[in-house]
Amino acid sequence: MCYPLDSRECSRVASTQPSGGEGSVQAEDFYDSIRAGLIAMLPRLKRFADLLTGERRAGAGLLGRALRSMLAGEHRYQRGSALDLWAFAEIYQQWLKELRDHAEPTSLDEADDGRFALLFSSGGEEEFDSLTANFLRSLPPQQRLTLLLVYGERFDHIEAGHVLDVTPKTIGARLVRVTASLADQLGECGPVPATAANAR
Amino acid sequence: MTELSDDLLVAYVDRRLADKQTSALEKVLAQDDVVARRLVTLKDAHRRLETAFEAILAGEEADAADQPIPRAPGLFIARETLVKGGIAATGIVIAAALLFAGYGWPLAAPEFAGRPAAMETVASLPADWRKEVARAQGLLSRASLEIGADSQSNPDFMAFQIGQAIGSKLTPPDLTAQGYRFTRAQILTFDGEPLAQLLYLGQNGAPLALYAKKSGESSQPRVTRHEAITGIAWPQGGVDYFLAGESNEDSLQRLAEAVRSEL
């Protein structure tokens, strides 16, 4: 299990290619399966799929189909690269493929209010932020994922762009637009206790 | 009021501005309450989003903990994967074990000391070395440390100890003709079974290690590679051997031949 699970680990992993495998000696490397790596990041992958589909059940279904596709086609994964980036991109591509195959793709965009709210139920005592949840639900899936990848997964714009197959500039533009939009809603909800001093 | 775009303020919140831009923006913030208020709202939005994503992840982790991963046919870690991962980690244990023994390698070795690039790597990845060292420590047993350093460098004594541990006599092969001298050996543990490690040093470069473990199953000779370490594994006389070093594959093959001929 020597592939980098996290994109931030990439820099330390040397790119190694299996040797030729001539003669009676069978050549292979230690990157024998992505299975263990995918298991280790299941909660993160599930969060990604949930936010993409807008609900847990559909997210679980999408993740299951994407995992089967990843395991069946793990040769597509470039050894030594970040497994999480690859896995997120695979889930996103799976979703796009299913969207294209669907008879009415536009009907899949809007997430159900109640089921979307369940995504934020962690069983803890935290206060449920309905304003943010409703805001996220109203966004197109691609914008939700942009926020998740940058603010949730802490990817940089290049990495997030790689997952969503858009340019880093697009990622930056989406972040500004969406964050500003949420800030507008927060501003409408009441005065923000701000001064020049606490802004810093 | 100063006109500042949300682009700039969001970049500030995300800490993507250069130092000079940050300083300039902070000067504006100190003088303009409207901009400062907008920034606080953007920060609030940012914080709420982060919190929301953390809440979702916490829910998923709780679900994952409630639903153990099936052994089969679902996702599981194959025994072969565990074995290979363990063998990979044995290379790391060299450093850990020698550090425990007070040798200070590799930090004190001249070729590793004082290299800024290496120091940067260590400093930027604190979580990774802890994980790797914890995994490596799992290979240490009491037997690894109960035999003193002097005894570990005695080939006859270690041949006896290894024989006792893995059930097959193993005199450290003499590789002086190949430019390597035996330095020491120790008994590690893997999957509850003893694993012998014989260490050699050449004129320069990284150590060469020969591992020996009682064979559990027949296996084919194979070459493995893990980052800079190349390894050659083969079964012989009921023992699985694994020779690992930073040599290239051809050199390692020649060394493996020399080892095989002495076993």
Amino acid at A188: E
A134 at interface of B, judged by CB pairs closer than 8 A: no
Closest CA to B7 of A121, A198, A156, A177: A177
Number of domain units in chain B: 2
Closest CA to B206 of B231, B189, B223, B187: B231
- Structure tokens belonging to residue B105: 């390698």
Residues of A in contact with B52 (CB under 8 A): 120, 129, 132-133, 136
Q: Which residues pair with B214 in a beta bridge?
A: B239
Query: What pLDDT is recorded for position B79?
Result: 47
Query: For B24-61, how does the pLDDT look when each residue is reduced to its tens digit (9 = 90+)?
Result: 888 888 888 888 889 999 999 999 998 888 888 888 88
Query: What pLDDT is recorded for position A200?
Result: 46
For residue B203, tell me if it sits in a domain. yes
The reply to whether the predicted model has a pTM over 0.90 is no
Q: Does A16 sit within 8 Å of B226, measured CB to CB?
A: yes
Local confidence band at A33 (pLDDT 50, 70, 90 cut-offs):
confident
A190 or B11: which carries more pLDDT confidence? B11
Q: Is pLDDT at A22 greater than 80 in this prediction?
A: no
Query: What pLDDT is recorded for position B104?
Result: 45
Q: Is B209 helix (H, G, I), strand (E, B) or coil?
A: strand
CATH number at residue B94: 3.30.200.100
ipTM of the complex as predicted? 0.77
Mean pLDDT of A65-83: 89
Which mean pLDDT values do the consecutive 10-residue runs of chain B (263 residues) have? Answer: 75 88 88 88 91 85 64 46 52 51 44 38 50 80 77 81 80 88 88 86 87 74 76 84 84 86 83
Shortest CA distance from A187: residue in chain B: B41
Q: Which residues span the domain enclosing B238?
A: 79-262
Query: What pLDDT is recorded for position B151?
Result: 79
- Structure tokens belonging to residue B239: 């023992």
List the single best residue of B35, B60, B246 to mutate versus A (max A Cβ within 10 A): B60
Contact call for residues A2 and A34 (beta carbons, < 8 A) = no
- Say yes or no: B222 and B100 in one domain: yes
For the ranges A28-32, A111-115, B58-62, B170-174, the maximum mean pLDDT occurs at: B170-174
The two beta strands, B229-236 and B181-190, are: unpaired
- Say yes or no: B96 and B45 in one domain: no
Compute the CA torsion angle B66, B71, B74, B78 (nearest 10 deg): 130
Query: For A85-98, how does the pLDDT look when each residue is reduced to its tens digit (9 = 90+)?
Result: 999 999 999 999 98
Number of domain units in chain A: 1
Residues of B in contact with A19 (CB under 8 A): 223, 225, 249
Shortest CA distance from A126: residue in chain B: B55
For residue B226, tell me if it sits in a domain. yes
B228 at interface of A, judged by CB pairs closer than 8 A: yes
Strands, E assignment, B14-134: none
Closest CA to B136 of B175, B173, B179, B100: B100
For residue A148, tell me if it sits in a domain. yes
